[in-house]
Chain A
Amino acid sequence: DIQMTQSPSSLSASVGDRVTITCQASQDISKYLNWYQQKPGKAPSLLIYDASNLETGVPSRFSGSGSGTDFTFTISSLQPEDVATYYCQQYGTFGPGTTVDIK
């Protein structure tokens, strides 16, 4: 089975900061990596699919890159409404999540 790791597990940043989360797969998964945002008490929402494609309606400050085993998710300018947990996912496996809050 493919394992997904994420780092960091949590981070605190200031409004306007650039935030980067990494996700690593235990084997080559090509471009098949998705990113989700989950706010407390809410269902997750899809932000990025196939590593770098922005889901419709998602702000352009969110982006993704990578292929193979190493992937990156970036918030170019952190906003207060971005406080959430972010998960990477490949088929039936989710990463453990990264909690983002405001410093």
Chain B
Amino acid sequence: DVQLVESGGGLVQPGGSLRLSCAASGFTFSTYWMSWVRQAPGKGLEWVANVKEDGSVTYHSDAVKGRFTISRDNAKNSLYLHMNSLRADDTAVYYCARERPAAACAFEYWGQGTPVTVSS
């Protein structure tokens, strides 16, 4: 079975940094685009970033561009989100998601999410 397990969330002060991880299993990780999607408390879903199968291409939303970096390690079946210069409005549950092949950016599998709280 496909499993995505996020970790690394927690409480961080404004301006701080955090690295989220997503451990993938049950599928050939290196053959799928992967994304991070977040959801602020009581709010809707917001796509954050995605990365090509081999890590050679990445896209980031305008809201996080220059502060967050998505990356992956296919040898470790892991996806990462490096978050710097964190702000209060980055507070959210962060989900990793696998993109459905041949369907433009459809997120077919999701992890359970890891919460990030940015507060002093």
Chain A residues engaging chain B, CB cutoff 8 angstroms? 1, 32, 34, 36, 38, 43-46, 49-50, 53, 55, 87, 89-97
Which of A1, A34, A36, A43 gathers the greatest number of chain B CB atoms within 10 Å?
Answer: A43
A92 touches B107 (CB 8 A): no
Can you show 24 pairs from A to B with CB atoms below 8 A apart?
A1-B62, A32-B105, A34-B107, A43-B110, A43-B111, A44-B45, A44-B95, A45-B110, A49-B103, A49-B108, A50-B103, A87-B45, A89-B45, A89-B105, A89-B107, A91-B105, A92-B47, A92-B59, A92-B61, A92-B105, A94-B45, A95-B44, A96-B44, A97-B45
- Of all chain A residues, which has the CB nearest B93? A43
The answer for the CA separation of A91 and B100 in the assembled complex, in Å, is 12
Min Cβ gap A6→B in Å is 10
Indicate whether B89 reaches chain A with its CB closer than 8 angstroms.
no
- Of all chain A residues, which has the CB nearest B6? A43
Residue from the list B44, B62, B107 in contact with A97, Cβ < 8 A: B44
